[in-house]
Structure 1
Amino acid sequence: MPQTSVSAPRPPDPGHRPLPSDHRSLAPDLARGVMLLVIALAHTHLFSVLLGGADPAPSVLDRVATAGTVVFVDFRGYPLFAALFGYGIAQIHRRRTEQGREWRWTRKLLRRRALWFLLIGALHGLLLFPGDILAVYGVVALLFVGVLRLRDRALAVIALVWLPMAAVAHALISAGEAMTGQVLPPLPDGFLSELVFRLTLYPALVVVMVLSTVVPFLLGVLAARHRVLEQPREHLRLLRTAASIGVPLSVLGALPLALAKAGVWSATPLDHLFIAPLHQVTGYAGGLGYAALIALASVRLDRHRGRVTDALAALGQRSMTFYLAQSVAWAVLFSSYTLGLPMTSPAVGVGVAVTVWATTVLLADLMRQRGRRGPAEVLLRRLTYGPVR
């Protein structure tokens, strides 16, 4: 009898399975874990504005908390997260290319992933927190997925051309705030009132944040091409330069706005046209400087990984889950239809932010010990790739 040839079943695409924890680079996960603290500090400071407004006679601690937030947090941690997002997109592209996938297949995959980011982020922004970044990442990925095929020089040119757009937007917003004396409208009472508040505020924030995301996103793509965070030992000189220049430059660029926000300097609307873009642009340097510092720390920590390092890395591996969990915490703590806690003090906000972040570190470490991945990461991977067979 003639033999019938039976083709072997095709093995599952390795891209459908997450990278094992022991194969992951420490620096990106550590950066995400640490930067979630910066995100928490920024969000609680925002709630101190939405719920408490501007205190005509703030305490010394409140002034210090406000100035410290402007110098070290506002538009400092966010560029790093945006750069890490670009870094991750470039990693997916590189891995699929190494697996022999064509560009059309990879582009379709990344666009599908971006659409789910957009949908999840929109729900998050409308239902929980209007300062959502996930939908922003989805928009940027959809618009700029083609840059993955451009050369390094082209990426740098696009970043330089885009840089003034975000700076001008923030200059106008800051000048408008100085003229009206109001940063944001107060958060209203009631579920429906808060929902309408988010519906009106969210679209405007998305536009501003998209403008602010493109530059660090492109720099993240550029860094991923050279595996700066995956192989930090091979880029020590670059990392030391970025840290020694980026962080001091960021601090100096933020000082004028910090003095104005803390009430130490009475800046005019014309002053804000200059100090706001200075704060914005130097924030990019600060975000990259933070990334470089964490990458340098990971070189030492990776040799002798302790419990704290593992816990922070575990949080970074589940950053999307606990980013959303922070918003749930804010809704429970501050919404008028839940606990409705007053937030009139930026200094108290710092304590709340650190407490919530520390709780997520403990929860992430428990999940690591039990071998549990973040539910948001599991959902996004399943929606992007489909079920693993």
Structure 2
Amino acid sequence: MLLLIALAHAHMYLSGHEAGFRGYALDGDASDRLVAGVQILLVDGRALPMFAALFGYGLVQLANRQLATGRSWPQVRKVLRRRNLWLLAFGFCHALLLFFGDILGAYGLVGLMLVGFVRREDRAVLRAAAVGLVSHVVVLVGFGLLTVSAPKGDTPAALADPIEATVMRLIGWSGMTPTYFAVSVAPAFLFGIWAARRRVLEDPASHRNLLSRVAATGLGLAVVGGAPLMLIDTRIWMPSDTIAISMYTLHSVTGIAGGLAYAAIVGLLADRIGRGHPGPVVRALAACGQWSLTCYLLQSVIFVAVFAPYTGGLGAHVGDAAASGIAVMTWLTTVVLAALSAPGGRRGPAEAALRRLTYGRR
């Protein structure tokens, strides 16, 4: 998940190029277009719903652990709301200091708004997910119209003045979080709640058929639905604006299926690995997962240090392919850091802070 997020975010720090719907340079060389095409097909709009589904799944786990201690649902709901409120605050600080495309705020906001569905019946959860999908389409069309009509300019990450960049990041975050990101993640979040009730990822062996179907169908839909936009953003196909916006919408909607497919694939892999003895690579990945909030924030710290014009300044001198290479190296760095720091169950600093703020000293 964190590798996909790093790949999806790194190119957003680049500047000096006219960009397509997904933020990739339209004038890149062959290697840049190849990388952009692969990521549009398999990464962009796929990592976000995967993260959202796992977030919804985890919220149910948190609630179940609290309920198991004897707390009532109103008490548990209060804890979950407090945690999501602090997650929203983390997102604000992330946007203030580092990255306009923060997604923590969206998850915190969705968690605050939809926490009641942890206890609602399946029919209500799936009905809300369907409403969320329709809302998602409406929002996508609106943002597609803005993309084709707005003047092209650099992202806040590429502004040379750090104060101006901070202001623009907050403006972008405050507008994008409730209107675009929150609506985008809500359907996958609700599907995650539905899956958690059945312990699909905790007991993958009993749900292998379901996971296999979700993996195959979801990945197929994501590839087929993403192919037209891949052709558009790599300038292989240049249709009218109406068709382009439709393909942008199709790309994002089928990305929800792709995100669920990736979660299912990981569940299948975990089932297979769990039958043996996990090696150092698997243990390192597990440590990175336990430090996921810290590692996510560290990605932005590294990207700002490397790409921003008021720090490393590399964002004005490299293309999409190089940015993705840096993203992979950044992810590997966080995996190694987590592997070296997490033995014994030690929490990452961001995880420890969120837990302390949520539960207090006890």
TM-score w.r.t. structure 2 length? 0.93
TM-superposed deviation, 1:181: 6.4
Local SS of the residue matching 1:156: helix
Letter in 2 for 1:211: V
Task: Give the match for residue 196 of structure 1.
Answer: 167
Task: Give the match for residue 39 of structure 1.
Answer: 5
Task: Give the match for residue 22 of structure 2.
Answer: none
TM-superposed deviation, 1:202: 1.3
TM-superposed deviation, 1:370: 6.2
Q: 1:81 aligns with which of 42, 51, 56?
A: 51
Equivalents in 1 of 2:245, 2:55: separation in Å?
30
Letter in 2 for 1:120: F
- 5+ residue gaps, structure 2, are 20-24
Matches within 5 A, 1:181-260: 182=152, 185=155, 187-206=158-177, 207-260=179-232
Local SS of the residue matching 1:342: helix
Sort the Cα spacing of 1:52 and 1:273 in 2 relative to 1 into closer, same or farther, 3 A.
closer
Equivalents in 2 of 1:57, 1:42: separation in Å?
19
The answer to whether the Cα contact below 8 Å between 2:26 and 2:234 also exists between their aligned partners in 1 is no
Query: What do the CA deviations read for 1:128-159 (whole angstroms, capped 9, x no partner)?
Result: 11111111111111111111121111101110
Q: 2:355 aligns with which of 381, 385, 388?
A: 381
Letter in 1 for 2:333: T
The answer to whether the Cα contact below 8 Å between 2:229 and 2:251 also exists between their aligned partners in 1 is yes
Which of structure 1's runs of 4+ aligned residues deviate more than 6 A?
none
The answer to whether the Cα contact below 8 Å between 2:229 and 2:248 also exists between their aligned partners in 1 is yes
Local SS of the residue matching 1:369: coil
The answer to whether the Cα contact below 8 Å between 1:97 and 1:103 also exists between their aligned partners in 2 is yes
Local SS of the residue matching 1:230: coil
Sort the Cα spacing of 1:122 and 1:180 in 2 relative to 1 into closer, same or farther, 3 A.
closer
The answer to whether the Cα contact below 8 Å between 1:175 and 1:272 also exists between their aligned partners in 2 is no
Equivalents in 1 of 2:130, 2:295: separation in Å?
33
TM-superposed deviation, 1:57: 3.9
**Structure 2 residue 70 is the aligned partner of structure 1 residue 97:** no
TM-superposed deviation, 1:51: 5.0
TM-superposed deviation, 1:260: 0.4
Equivalents in 1 of 2:170, 2:58: separation in Å?
30
> Radius of gyration: which is bigger?
1
The answer to whether the Cα contact below 8 Å between 1:72 and 1:251 also exists between their aligned partners in 2 is yes
Equivalents in 1 of 2:326, 2:170: separation in Å?
26
Letter in 1 for 2:3: L
Sort the Cα spacing of 1:272 and 1:184 in 2 relative to 1 into closer, same or farther, 3 A.
farther
Paired residue total: 353
Equivalents in 2 of 1:200, 1:166: separation in Å?
21
Local SS of the residue matching 1:129: coil
The answer to whether the Cα contact below 8 Å between 1:172 and 1:273 also exists between their aligned partners in 2 is no
TM-superposed deviation, 1:369: 3.4
TM-superposed deviation, 1:58: 2.3
Of the structure 1 ranges 197-206 and 278-287, higher mean CA displacement relative to structure 2 is found in: 197-206
Query: What do the CA deviations read for 1:148-194 (whole angstroms, capped 9, x no partner)?
Result: 12111110111011101112212222233234463765622121121
Equivalents in 2 of 1:57, 1:131: separation in Å?
23
Sort the Cα spacing of 1:51 and 1:312 in 2 relative to 1 into closer, same or farther, 3 A.
farther
TM-superposed deviation, 1:287: 0.4
Sort the Cα spacing of 1:194 and 1:103 in 2 relative to 1 into closer, same or farther, 3 A.
same
Sort the Cα spacing of 1:370 and 1:337 in 2 relative to 1 into closer, same or farther, 3 A.
farther
- 5+ residue gaps, structure 1, are 1-34
RMSD (Å) for aligned C-alpha atoms: 1.6
